[in-house]
């Protein structure tokens, strides 16, 4: 299925996996629309992607803002959501308020976005959400992300049935070198990457481009729906 001239919305398209995904769709000659909260990230991303890309400030946790966003975008063909903030911490230590905040972002943000997108989304199009390998293989301190990612994987199976003929899938990445870890001191971040790389069958952590290809594949393959694509370098095996 050609993506040439198709209108693709990437919520979270200003950084990391979303930015690489926006680039990958542009390489397929799609018209790309990106959205996230920060005006600065939007302007940096537009510089990197080129001026043909449309960009909107959006906080996907707000029903009203998301509805306003899609009314400005109008009709489109494929929805990708990579936005989302989780929370790490041992079950006994993590305050419930922080767990709720993480659900408000990564789970409810994606849910609200799909809801508001539907009136504008082409029936021959697709929706691709984002979960993560911790949904099936959580290390210590990942019970919140295990819950959120599993909830998203489940939501996608239900949506694939409810929203048919629109196809609905989810990408489940392992550890990817993105600005999501920019809060960590550089040596700590590199130490984490190298420790994980040693454990993984592929011997390295992912780059955003490794994951971006999968969103393109899921938009293009008209026979794929209700599927979670795990791209984790073998993390679920070790
Ligand atoms: N990197 C990994 O190792 C990894 C592993 C497994 C799963 N994942 C999942 O993959 C997804 C993308 O992660 P990433 O590594 O690419 O992160 P990232 O580089 O931090 O990018 C996240 C993007 O989401 C946007 N965003 C965050 N909260 C938002 C909100 N409330 N409303 C609108 N946009 C929002 C951010 O922009 P603004 O700040 O401007 O809003 C940014 O563009 C996340 O769901 C993450 O949990 C990542």
90: domain CATH number is: 3.40.50.720
Range of the structural domain that residue 198 is part of = 7-228
pLDDT band of residue 1 (cuts 50, 70, 90) is confident
Residue ranges of alpha helices (H) inside 28-170 are 39-49, 63-73, 96-102, 108-117, 143-162
Q: Quick check: is 187 in a domain?
A: yes
Contact 216/3 with Cβ under 8 angstroms?
yes
Q: Quick check: is 45 in a domain?
A: yes
Q: Which helix (H) or strand (E) holds 27?
A: helix 16-27
Q: Quick check: is 160 in a domain?
A: yes
Q: Quick check: is 234 in a domain?
A: no
| Per-residue confidence (pLDDT) for residue 51, from 0 to 100 | 84
- pLDDT beyond 90 at 162: yes
> pLDDT tens-digit profile of 63-86?
999 999 999 999 999 999 999 999
| Per-residue confidence (pLDDT) for residue 160, from 0 to 100 | 98
Q: Which of 15, 105, 197 has most ligand 1 atoms within 8 Å of its beta carbon, as the pocket-test mutant? A: 15
> pLDDT tens-digit profile of 129-150?
999 999 999 999 999 999 999 9
Question: Whose CA is closest to atom 11 on ligand 1?
Answer: 82
- Mean predicted confidence (pLDDT) in 95-99: 98
Sorted by sequence, the CB contacts under 8 Å of residue 24 that are 6+ apart come out as: 209, 212, 213, 215, 216
Q: Quick check: is 1 in a domain?
A: no
Q: Quick check: is 238 in a domain?
A: no
How many structural domains is the chain composed of?
1
Q: Quick check: is 12 in a domain?
A: yes
- pLDDT beyond 90 at 57: yes
């Amino acid at each position: 299925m050609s993506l040439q001239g198709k209108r693709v919305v990437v919520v979270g398209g200003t950084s990391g996996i979303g930015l690489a995904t926006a680039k990958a769709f542009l390489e397929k000659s799609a018209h790309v629309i990106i959205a996230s909260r920060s005006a600065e990230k939007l302007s940096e991303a537009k510089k990197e992607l080129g001026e043909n890309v449309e960009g909107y400030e959006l906080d996907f946790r707000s029903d009203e803002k998301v509805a306003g966003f899609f009314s400005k975008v109008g009709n489109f063909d494929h929805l990708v959501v990579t936005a989302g903030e989780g929370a790490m911490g041992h079950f006994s230590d993590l305050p419930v308020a922080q767990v709720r905040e993480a659900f408000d972002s990564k789970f409810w943000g994606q849910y609200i976005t799909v809801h508001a997108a539907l009136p504008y989304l082409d029936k021959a199009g697709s929706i691709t959400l984002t979960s993560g390998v911790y949904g099936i293989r959580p290390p210590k301190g990942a019970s919140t992300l295990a819950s959120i990612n599993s909830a998203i994987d489940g939501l996608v199976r239900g949506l694939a049935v409810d929203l048919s003929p629109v196809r609905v899938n989810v990408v489940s990445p392992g550890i990817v070198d993105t600005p999501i870890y920019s809060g960590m001191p550089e040596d700590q971040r590199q130490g984490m990457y190298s420790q994980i790389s040693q454990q993984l069958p592929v011997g390295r952590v992912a780059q955003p481009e490794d994951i971006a290809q999968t969103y393109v594949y899921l938009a293009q393959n008209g026979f794929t729906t209700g599927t979670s694509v795990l791209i984790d370098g073998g993390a679920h095996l070790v």
